[in-house]
């Protein structure tokens, strides 16, 4: 007979995490645990900076789930059926599904990737995200965190006025730059003008510069953009449909947004069938969430799994970074 619990964890950050939609110095996430006998599995709930889903929302939804779900879950298929029965916030849905998958892995004395039927990889090159900051702060931040070791860097910008910020990072770092707009630009013309000032830099991609509500503007930008355009906020827990081809070159898939391993893997398959690039991303989360994402990282085009590297203290120790690459810890 299984037992579900949930708890909050407070995660102080190394720096003030500033993006187009807000900033924070501490993150509150949640951890779901499924226990049966002596075995347990855990899953992480991470929240967006702008807080569309709150801790209270998750607590309420978790209580409803506990009151409804049978005490005896009979395998992953049965678990997925229970999760489909009513609307659950995507981040909680992922934590519930992953905690059960991780329990099954321990029961099988194997890895979660085997439960999911995917190929495991244990050497993943990740980008490292630089939060938005003043231009004069960049060099000190870059050197303090030894960012030259990463194969790519993602820079958070808040709009068209950040040309100087991008160029400063480009002076310090000659590897691939990824620019993350977090919907901070007003229209496609503004984004194109911004891009025109940066064509000489080694920019690998531009992530969601326009609002997900402005699909027509995204289409206009896709037609003329000199850089690969990656959807982030435009893709949540739904399918990757044909329209994504018109507005983007690829999609950023996050387990917390997709609502679980299975839904994220479905999004990957749909994206590839449309000829779109795939990025596997994350939020600010612990190595519990990051090591979970690593389970489905095989054959992904771009990896952005640095969330746990921004924490002052990482509580789980399930993954580590070396020379810009991620590995499972021995406790994995």
Do 151 and 65 belong together in one domain? no
Count Cα atoms within 13 angstroms, Cβ side, for 64. Answer: 15
- Indicate the number of domains in the chain: 2
326's CB contacts (< 8 A; 6+ apart) are 123, 124, 125, 126, 290, 294, 303, 305, 319, 320
Decide which of 116, 132, 163 is a domain's last residue.
116
What range does the domain containing 34 cover?
3-116
Do 244 and 102 belong together in one domain? no
Q: Where are the alpha helices (DSSP H) in 145-242?
A: 163-172, 188-196, 215-224
Do 221 and 250 belong together in one domain? yes
Do 200 and 319 belong together in one domain? yes
CA–centroid distance for 102 within its chain: 19
Do 269 and 304 belong together in one domain? yes
CATH (domain of 307): 3.20.20.120
Do 143 and 279 belong together in one domain? yes
Do 60 and 171 belong together in one domain? no
CATH (domain of 91): 3.30.390.10
Q: From first to last of the 332 residues of the chain, give the pLDDT tens digit.
A: 789 999 999 999 999 888 877 788 999 999 999 999 999 999 999 998 777 899 999 999 999 999 998 888 989 999 999 999 888 999 999 999 999 999 999 999 999 999 999 999 999 999 999 999 999 999 999 999 999 999 999 999 999 999 999 999 999 999 999 999 999 999 999 999 999 999 999 999 999 999 999 999 999 999 999 999 999 999 999 999 999 999 999 999 999 999 999 999 999 999 999 999 999 999 999 999 999 999 999 999 999 999 999 999 999 999 999 999 999 996 54
Decide which of 116, 138, 155 is a domain's last residue.
116
Do 133 and 268 belong together in one domain? yes
Do 207 and 74 belong together in one domain? no
Q: Among candidates 79, 171, 169, which has minimal Cα distance to 132? A: 169
C-alpha 215/C-alpha 9 separation (Å) is: 37
pTM for the model: 0.95
Do 45 and 164 belong together in one domain? no
| End-to-end Cα separation, the chain, in angstroms | 25
C-alpha 293/C-alpha 280 separation (Å) is: 7
Do 92 and 129 belong together in one domain? no
Do 291 and 189 belong together in one domain? yes
């Amino acid at each position: 007979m299984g037992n579900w619990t949930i708890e909050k964890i407070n995660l102080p950050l190394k720096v003030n995490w500033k993006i187009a939609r807000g900033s924070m110095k501490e993150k509150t996430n949640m951890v779901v645990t499924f226990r049966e006998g002596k075995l347990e599995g855990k899953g992480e709930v991470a929240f967006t900076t702008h807080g569309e889903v709150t801790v209270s929302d998750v607590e309420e939804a978790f209580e409803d789930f506990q009151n409804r779900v049978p005490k005896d879950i009979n395998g992953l298929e049965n678990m997925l059926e229970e999760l489909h029965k009513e609307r659950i916030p995507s981040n909680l849905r992922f934590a519930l599904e992953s905690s059960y998958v991780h329990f099954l892995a321990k029961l099988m004395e194997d890895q979660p990737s085997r439960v999911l039927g995917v190929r495991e990889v244990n050497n993943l090159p990740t980008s490292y995200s630089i939060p938005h900051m003043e231009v004069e702060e960049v060099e000190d931040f870059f050197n303090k965190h030894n960012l030259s070791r990463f194969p790519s860097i993602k820079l958070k910008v808040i709009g068209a006025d950040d040309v100087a910020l991008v160029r400063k990072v480009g002076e310090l770092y000659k590897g691939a730059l990824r620019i993350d707009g977090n919907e901070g630009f007003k229209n496609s013309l503004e984004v194109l003008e911004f891009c025109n000032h940066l064509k000489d830099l080694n920019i690998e991609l531009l992530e969601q510069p326009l609002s997900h509500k402005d699909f027509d503007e995204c289409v206009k930008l896709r037609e003329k953009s000199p850089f690969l355009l990656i959807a982030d906020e435009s893709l949540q827990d739904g399918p990757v449909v044909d329209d994504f081809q018109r507005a983007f070159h690829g999609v950023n898939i996050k387990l917390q947004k997709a609502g679980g391993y299975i839904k994220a893997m479905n999004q990957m398959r749909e994206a590839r069938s449309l000829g779109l690039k795939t990025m596997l991303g994350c939020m600010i989360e612990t190595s519990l969430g990051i090591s979970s994402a690593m389970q489905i990282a095989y054959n992904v085009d771009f990896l952005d799994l640095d969330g746990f590297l921004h924490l002052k203290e990482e509580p789980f120790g399930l993954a580590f970074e070396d020379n810009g690459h991620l590995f499972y810890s021995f406790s994995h």
